[in-house]
Structure 1
Amino acid sequence: MSSVINIDRVRNTPRLYLAFTTRFSQYVATRQSSPVVARRYNPELFLRVWRDGVYDRTNPSHWDFGYGHESNGQRISDPQGYRLAADAADLRGDPEITARESISRGWDYLSIDWVKEWNTPFLVKLAGRTETQIEYRHYLDHGLFQGDPEEYNVWEGDGAESRPRANYSCLQFALAYTLPDEPFSDWVCFERVELEHTTGYARPFDNNSTSLEVTTQLAGIPLYFWARTGYNSDLVDYYKYTDIWGIGMEFLR
Structure 2
Amino acid sequence: MAAASRVADALAKGDSAGSARDYISRGWDYIGVTSKYSAHWQDGVARCPLKEIAQNNQSPLLKKPGCFAVTADVRYFLQNGPLQGEAEDYYAFEMQSQAYRRKDYDGLALTLEYIPPTEKISHMAFSYRTGYGKPFNYSTFRFEATFNFNDDDLPPLVIWYQEGYNSDLVDYYNYNRIIGIAIEITSFD
TM-score tier after normalising by the smaller chain length: 0.7 to 0.9
Shift of 1:148: 1.2
- Partner SS, residue 135 of structure 1: strand
Which string of whole-angstrom CA distances, capped at 9 and with x for unpartnered residues, describes residues 98-126 of structure 1? 642321211110001110113378xxx86
TM-score, length of structure 1 as denominator length: 0.58
Taking a change above 3 Å as real, the CA distance of residues 80 and 247 of structure 1, as seen in their structure-2 partners, is: same
Taking a change above 3 Å as real, the CA distance of residues 214 and 74 of structure 1, as seen in their structure-2 partners, is: farther
Give the letter for the 1:81 counterpart: D
1:193 and 2:124 matched: yes
Report if aligned partners of 1:86, 1:98 keep a CA contact under 8 Å in 2. no
- Partner SS, residue 100 of structure 1: helix
The CA distance in 2 between the partners of 1:234 and 1:86, in whole Å, is 27
Equivalent residue number for residue 67 of structure 1 = none
The CA distance in 2 between the partners of 1:138 and 1:154, in whole Å, is 23
Give the letter for the 1:139 counterpart: F
- How many residues align structurally? 164
Equivalent residue number for residue 74 of structure 2 = 136
- Higher RCO (Cα < 8 Å, 6 or more apart): 2
- Partner SS, residue 229 of structure 1: strand
The CA distance in 2 between the partners of 1:128 and 1:136, in whole Å, is 27
1:247 and 2:187 matched: no
RMSD: 2.6
Equivalent residue number for residue 177 of structure 1 = 114
Equivalent residue number for residue 108 of structure 1 = 29
Equivalent residue number for residue 20 of structure 1 = none
Report if aligned partners of 1:74, 1:103 keep a CA contact under 8 Å in 2. no
Shift of 1:137: 0.1
1:151 and 2:89 matched: yes
The CA distance in 2 between the partners of 1:85 and 1:243, in whole Å, is 35
The CA distance in 2 between the partners of 1:242 and 1:202, in whole Å, is 20
TM-score, length of structure 2 as denominator length: 0.76
Q: Give unmatched runs, 5+ long, in structure 1.
A: 1-72, 91-95, 184-188
Q: Give unmatched runs, 5+ long, in structure 2.
A: 41-47, 50-62
Shift of 1:80: 3.4
Taking a change above 3 Å as real, the CA distance of residues 101 and 78 of structure 1, as seen in their structure-2 partners, is: closer
- Of structures 1 and 2, the larger Rg is shown by 2
1:80 and 2:1 matched: no
Alignment identity in percent?
32
Of 136, 140, 160 in structure 2, the residue corresponding to residue 226 of structure 1 is 160
1:238 and 2:183 matched: no
Of 100, 106, 124 in structure 2, the residue corresponding to residue 163 of structure 1 is 100
The CA distance in 1 between the partners of 2:36 and 2:5, in whole Å, is 37
